[in-house]
Amino acid sequence: PGNPNNAGVKVLGPIIADAEHQPAVPTEDEDLQITARIAPTFDPVAAAQLHYRVMFDPEVTVPFLDDGNSGDGAAGDGVYGTHVPAGVFAAGQMVRWYITAADAVGRVSRFPAFIDPENSPEYCGTIVEDPSLTHPLPVLHWFVRNPNAANTSSGTRCALFYDGEFYDNVTMDLHGQSS
Residue 92 CB-density burial (10 A; 0-12 exposed, 13-18 middle, 19+ buried): middle
Q: Tell me the pLDDT tens digit for each residue of 89-101.
A: 999 999 999 999 9
Mean pLDDT (whole number) for 109-131: 94
Is 70 exceeded by the pLDDT of residue 8? no
pLDDT tens digits for range 30-44: 999 999 999 999 999
Single pTM value for the model: 0.89
**pLDDT tens digits along 149-176:** 888 888 899 999 999 999 999 988 887 6
Give me the pLDDT at residue 6, please: 67
* Cα–Cα dist 21/125, whole Å: 9
Q: What pLDDT does 153 receive? A: 86
* Strand 94-103 to 108-111 pairing: antiparallel
Mean pLDDT calculated for residue range 63-74: 95
pLDDT at residue number 150? 85
